[in-house]
Amino acid sequence: MKENKKKTEQELITPVAKPVSRRILLGGAATAAVVLLKSSYGQIIQKAISQAELKINDPTKVLGPPPGELGTRSKFEKPVKKPSDTSSRTPLQDLYGTITPADLHYERHHAGVPVIDPQQYSLTIHGMVEKPLVFTLADLKRFPSVTRTFFLECSGNYRGGKETLRPQEICGLTSQSEWTGVMLSTLFRETGVKPKASWFLAEGSDAAVMSRSIPVSKGWEDAMIAYAQNGEAIRPEQGYPARLLLPGWEGNTSVKWLRRLELSDQPFMTREETSKYTEAVKDGKIRQFSFVMDARSIITYPSYPQQVQKGWMEIRGIAWSGRGKIHKVEVSTNGGRTWNRANLQEPVLDKAHTAFRYLWEWKGGEAEIMSRAIDETGYIQPTMKQLKEARGVDMGGYHLNPITSWLVQRDGSVINKPV
């Protein structure tokens, strides 16, 4: 080696003489990556390069990091939830398709996220049953399983009144997952639910000991006890290690961290179905046990604070209904004067977020774009005005599903149209 006097850049680097572990090669605080270089002697050598060099580097010339134990999100992508004291909202505008990544699933809980050891976990079913039973997590997993994709939505999922609201703020308390678990009907069979039982209490083991009364009919119909979400164990924020899921019903009824089901012949009138999750309607009445989430849609592109350019674009969004499948989504680009049928992404699933698209050429000038969902019962997503007419001006904040309008302004900026 010493006979060669002409020192090239490559030669300054120590050739790899003996096997060195990747960890060592990749180590070092200033090292951003390792490149393979060919020395003037024809040997392949590795060179650590700095962050600064990497920035301007051609990725085809840089050996990437090795396979790892856990995947990562690109450092250029930073979708985040928007937390408040009591909830955290899904960034609907940053998502594609209809599955919510588990770490972006919305959260709403009443006393924080409990830590539950799966070895200690159990679900007790008692009350009006032939055989009161306690199931461990392993027991639940031994039963015939089901996997189903559907949305969850908090019934308090509406914010309005401002131009500077993103889809996340307006209705980010909805998310969708593929859930795996055991049908509640299977456990009803196992415990022998008595014909007289018409309601059951679902109770969680969080610090709120969350409790809701649910009609037994929903249990036989399509309720499930889920232990997995998008292919992995359910996340703590979504109810680890097991939760109740009532497809299409207000999120609060899908009790997380489920510890107990008590069968009865009357509802229990818990705080969450009396003081909360009830809504004032006309004539001083208060609507109770309003379980089902009505059909709704939102355009997620374009939306605030995005900027659009003249020309063709695909107006995109999601639509969903707690009563079944989305039948149709209509899009208006002229403030509701005329409506056009959007394309729905197949397969359209029951009680599931459904992606819609509508091709539109923006020629400049102001435009008001909006979408409305129509479900298979023939329900048409209403305007806020229609909701107020139907429920009275004192209607509460639950079950509000009004049409959302976006104003595309002359300069291409997009704002929410407060209603």
Cα angle: 149, vertex 203, 116; to 5 degrees: 80
**Cα–Cα distance, 82 to 322 (Å, whole number):** 24
Nearer of residues 10 and 186 to another protein, judged by Cβ:
186
Should residue 126 be labelled a site residue for another protein when binding is judged by CB under 8 A? yes
The HSE-up count of residue 24 (CA atoms within 13 Å, CB side) is: 6
Should residue 378 be labelled a site residue for another protein when binding is judged by CB under 8 A? yes
Contact stretch for another protein (CB under 8 A) within 21-29, 32-40, 126-134, 327-335: 126-134
Contact stretch for another protein (CB under 8 A) within 25-33, 36-44, 190-198, 338-346: 190-198
Should residue 286 be labelled a site residue for another protein when binding is judged by CB under 8 A? yes
Using DSSP's 3-state secondary structure scheme, residue 280 falls into strand
**Cα–Cα distance, 195 to 130 (Å, whole number):** 10
Q: Which two tokens stand for residue 352?
A: 């599931």
**Cα–Cα distance, 188 to 172 (Å, whole number):** 34
CB of 333 to another protein, least distance (A): 24
- Chain CA centroid to CA 57, Å: 36
Residue selected from 131, 337, 363, 410 as contacting another protein according to rule CB under 8 A: 131
Should residue 386 be labelled a site residue for another protein when binding is judged by CB under 8 A? yes
Determine the residue type at 95.
L
**Cα–Cα distance, 347 to 409 (Å, whole number):** 34
Omega prior to 418 cis, within 30 of 0? no
Nearer of residues 40 and 386 to another protein, judged by Cβ:
386
Specify the DSSP element, H or E, that contains 374: strand 367-375
For residue 89, what is the DSSP state? Answer: E
x-marked contacts with ligand HEC along 199-238 as a string, rule CB under 6 A:
---------x------------------------------
Q: According to CB under 8 A, which residues from 54 to 113 bind another protein?
A: 110-111
Contact stretch for another protein (CB under 8 A) within 97-105, 238-246, 287-295, 364-372: 287-295
Q: Which two tokens stand for residue 182?
A: 């055991």
Should residue 124 be labelled a site residue for another protein when binding is judged by CB under 8 A? yes
Nearer of residues 235 and 276 to ligand HEC, judged by Cβ:
276
Should residue 193 be labelled a site residue for another protein when binding is judged by CB under 8 A? no
Should residue 110 be labelled a site residue for ligand HEC when binding is judged by CB under 6 A? yes
Binding site for ligand HEC (CB under 6 A): 110, 208, 271, 275-276
